[in-house]
Amino acid sequence: MALIKALPASELCRRYALAAFDFEDTSQLEDLHEPLGQDRAVEAIRFGIGVRHQGFNLFAFGPPGTGKTDVVRHYLEPEAAVQPLPDDWCYVNDFATPHCPKALRLPPGRATELAKQMANLAEELRVVISSAFESDDYRTRLDVIMEQYKLRQEQVFEELREKAEKKSIALVRTPVGLALAPVREGQVVEPDMFAKMSEEERETIKKDISGLEGELQSAVRMLPELERQQRQEIRTLNREITSFAVGHIIDEIREHWQDNEAVIAFLDEVQAHVIDHADVFRLTNEQVAQSLPPGMAPDISRQRELVIGNCQVNVLVCHDDNNGAPVIYEDNPTVDNLLGRVEYRAEFGNLVTDFRLIKAGALHHANGGYLILDARRLILQPFAWETLKRELRSREIRIESLSQMMSLSSTVSLKPEPIPLDVKVILVGDAMLYYLLSQHDPDFRELFKVPVDFDDRIPVTEDAIAHFVRLIATHARKKNLLPLDPSAVGQVLVRMTRLAGDAERLSNHLRSLADLLSEADHWAASQGHKVISGDDVKKAVSAHIHRSDRIRERTQEQFERGTIILDTSGDRVGQINGLSVLQLGDFAFGRPSRITARVRLGGGKVVDIEREVKLGGPLHSKGVLILSNFLAARYTKDKPLSLTASLVFEQSYGGIDGDSASSTELYALLSALSEIPIKQSLAVTGSVNQFGEVQAIGGVNEKIEGFFDLCQQRGLSGDQGVLIPAANVKHLMLREDVVAAAERGEFHIYPITTIDEGIEQMTGVAAGEVGDDGTYPPDSVNGRVQARLQAFAQAVKNFTKSDGDGDGESEEEESDD
């Protein structure tokens, strides 16, 4: 029997050769402009940016903190900068249907110009129109019209008056109208005098008056029509005066917009609107009050503001910065923030709105360019995801509030004209979200056809190291940190390799790198260092761990106080030290656990007690099920497996999952079956397949360190160590103290390939090779296991036979077992 040799210390942790760093500190290094290890993602970004067809939007996904947004912007912004500026967009009043404001498209950078021109126009209108109406020319023409109609009115009554006068009848003004009455010597005939007149005279007067009353009635009836004609003529005059006054001002603006039919049409509408509402500029509140019945006079200053306001331009988006196509990042992608919204203002207790209160959303700002959104935030905002998809599908921005979308509100509001949408959306999120959407949302694949898959680790090569060192330098410079000396760079590389959990990989998790550098900078600065040294980085790492490892310390304390029982010396049958990993946030640590196995005669079943009490996950159960097949296939090919075995994680009160303990459990089973004790100074991790091959597991470093910490606490005896799958050797990035102990021969890491190797290491007894007859040497572990299982099988056989003689009850019990 040849035991596996412990790994040399050099294989327990990758060390970076400081001699290869030909710089004094990172300030001497050039910036790294390209993202590191993201070739696939970069290629996808370039493709996604370049293709302008519909649906080729991007979804950048990968582990959080890998700098996805920064990388996307890094490639997007230069590309966008050389693209043409998109058009400006405004909303203007639709004079025919004011609740449906019109969208006005303008050449880039000219929206503000138009808005200013219209604002100036409003100011000029106030002056020019009121001046025009105060001119002598207007007043004279107005007087002429009024005089003409007054004369026409009076002429009618004067003729009547003269006609009546000839018959000694007067036209008398009564409090509310006119009447005809007989006169004598310039005075209306008094009733007494009238009574004294002769019958004939009275009848004549009555007849004359009666005849004239018809004419009087006709004359009075003419008055409203004459007034109407007068108003019409005055209105025509006002329109003429206003048109002349405002025409040349608006013509000046027209000159600037000859090439834009939409603006010209808008200006025509503005001119017509102003002319139609000239009175609001001409009249004061008092004059309006005089000309209309009380209570009907509008507030002319409000009316004036309304007319002027209707001529304004609401600039939604204006690209006057000449920076190419826009790249917009919307941090809070609510429906309103994406689509824009219609705001309201309170007026006399009412909420009112108009086209000037339409506000742009991120889609407006990004139209003609790029919009970056956080996918998770987008999904979490009510209706935001559906809204974005709808806009991308329809290629229009249709401003609607949530209440409108859900038909919750029936109040009158604006319905702005939709704006054509041409935007490329880049969602940034995690891979899980990408795959979920991809699988469950049929629209998703139609609209986001370009996956941008970010990786968080890169293979360790000389080239990669060189680039990574420049990446460190770039980060330090960008964040105004102290430069790092070569030892610090080395420690950063070690830490990033450890974070990758693989000695052959470097983690390019940028947030972790940035945090590590910032913390190291803090410790260096607090010590008054000019550069960050390796010790500063170590301090940063240990401090970072210390901030998170309260639970680990508490667990260690429980071992120390004997609350959790675990042996680190001696031998025990059916008892072994397993290793598990606890993940708490971004901190993980290893925890040794005692695993025990008991066997007895039975029906060929390995009972996973964790699973029976629903504490074991499916992967753990899978590992245990493999064991029974392994035992049957290896030791009892021609006989039934006639044992019942139970496996349990002692003092485990939480859920367990993963198959990394399956080899451990198998060792315990073999020990229990062979009754050969297992060394308690060793701990084991690794999964096993049906052929007894030990397979790689995760968290190997944490597991080893967990057992090391316990052993170190109790005092390293020199024979303690951990059995790990040989496939995990490349993942070893152990702590310095573990490596040092290994170097001193006080702690050992054994790479195991097969169960036989492992059981020999654990028991010190040869596993035993199978002979041609299918048997193992009797003193070997396998031989003793085989013998035990055969004994079980024979016992079952004997038991079954005696049962056939009449003892059926026992068989039933065995079957149940």
**Residues that bind other proteins in the complex, under the rule CB under 8 A:** 136, 139-140, 143, 150, 153-154, 157, 161, 170-182, 186-191, 194, 206, 209-210, 213, 216-217, 220-221, 223, 290
Residues 6+ apart with CB under 8 A from 170: 161, 164, 180, 181, 182, 183, 188
* Nearer residue to other proteins within complex by CB, 160 or 388: 160
Q: How far is the CB of 293 from other proteins (least distance, A)?
A: 12
Q: How far is the CB of 201 from other proteins (least distance, A)?
A: 13
Q: Dihedral angle at the C-alpha atoms of 805, 807, 808, 811, nearest 10 degrees?
A: -110
User: CA 793 from chain center: how many Å?
Assistant: 62
Residues 6+ apart with CB under 8 A from 102: 91, 92, 93, 94, 266, 417
Q: How far is the CB of 173 from other proteins (least distance, A)?
A: 5
Both tokens assigned to 200: 């004939």
Q: How far is the CB of 129 from other proteins (least distance, A)?
A: 19
* Nearer residue to other proteins within complex by CB, 184 or 235: 184
Q: How far is the CB of 196 from other proteins (least distance, A)?
A: 13
- The Cα angle at residue 631 between residues 727 and 817, in degrees rounded to 5: 130
* Nearer residue to other proteins within complex by CB, 221 or 440: 221
Q: How far is the CB of 291 from other proteins (least distance, A)?
A: 13
* Nearer residue to other proteins within complex by CB, 40 or 152: 152
Q: How far is the CB of 175 from other proteins (least distance, A)?
A: 4
Rounded to whole angstroms, the Cα distance separating 326 from 504 reads 41
Nearest CA-CA partner of 699 in 660, 664, 672, 668: 660
* Nearer residue to other proteins within complex by CB, 30 or 136: 136
Three state DSSP letters for 312-333: CEEEEECCCCCCCCCEEEECCC
* Nearer residue to other proteins within complex by CB, 70 or 190: 190
- Torsion sign (Cα): 489, 491, 497, 503: positive
Q: Sort 69 into a burial class: Cβ within 10 Å, 0-12 / 13-18 / 19+.
A: middle
Q: How far is the CB of 272 from other proteins (least distance, A)?
A: 29
**Which amino acid appears at position 327 of this protein?**
V
Rounded to whole angstroms, the Cα distance separating 679 from 764 reads 8
DSSP 358-414: EE--HHHHHTTSEEEEEHHHHHHSTTHHHHHHHHHHHTEE----HHHHTT---S---
User: CA 641 from chain center: how many Å?
Assistant: 56
* Nearer residue to other proteins within complex by CB, 171 or 647: 171
Residues 6+ apart with CB under 8 A from 142: 234, 237
* Nearer residue to other proteins within complex by CB, 218 or 563: 218
Q: How far is the CB of 167 from other proteins (least distance, A)?
A: 14
Three-class secondary structure of residue 598 per DSSP = strand
Q: How far is the CB of 299 from other proteins (least distance, A)?
A: 20
Q: How far is the CB of 336 from other proteins (least distance, A)?
A: 51
Q: How far is the CB of 286 from other proteins (least distance, A)?
A: 10
* Nearer residue to other proteins within complex by CB, 206 or 345: 206
| 724 within 8 A of 708, measured Cβ to Cβ | no
Rounded to whole angstroms, the Cα distance separating 275 from 271 reads 6
Three-class secondary structure of residue 582 per DSSP = strand
* Nearer residue to other proteins within complex by CB, 165 or 321: 165
Three-class secondary structure of residue 63 per DSSP = coil
* Nearer residue to other proteins within complex by CB, 28 or 217: 217
Q: How far is the CB of 288 from other proteins (least distance, A)?
A: 15
Q: How far is the CB of 303 from other proteins (least distance, A)?
A: 23
In degrees and rounded to multiples of 5, residue 559 shows phi and psi of -65, -45
Q: For 650, which DSSP code? A: T
* Nearer residue to other proteins within complex by CB, 180 or 263: 180
* Nearer residue to other proteins within complex by CB, 88 or 208: 208
* Nearer residue to other proteins within complex by CB, 139 or 302: 139
* Nearer residue to other proteins within complex by CB, 123 or 159: 159
In degrees and rounded to multiples of 5, residue 369 shows phi and psi of -145, -130
| 157 within 8 A of 170, measured Cβ to Cβ | no
* Nearer residue to other proteins within complex by CB, 188 or 573: 188
| 789 within 8 A of 631, measured Cβ to Cβ | yes
| 590 within 8 A of 581, measured Cβ to Cβ | yes
Three-class secondary structure of residue 83 per DSSP = coil
| 765 within 8 A of 7, measured Cβ to Cβ | no
Rounded to whole angstroms, the Cα distance separating 147 from 257 reads 44
In degrees and rounded to multiples of 5, residue 315 shows phi and psi of -75, 115
Q: How far is the CB of 165 from other proteins (least distance, A)?
A: 8
| 642 within 8 A of 792, measured Cβ to Cβ | yes
Instruction: State which H helix or E strand residue 90 sits in.
Output: strand 88-92
Q: How far is the CB of 195 from other proteins (least distance, A)?
A: 10
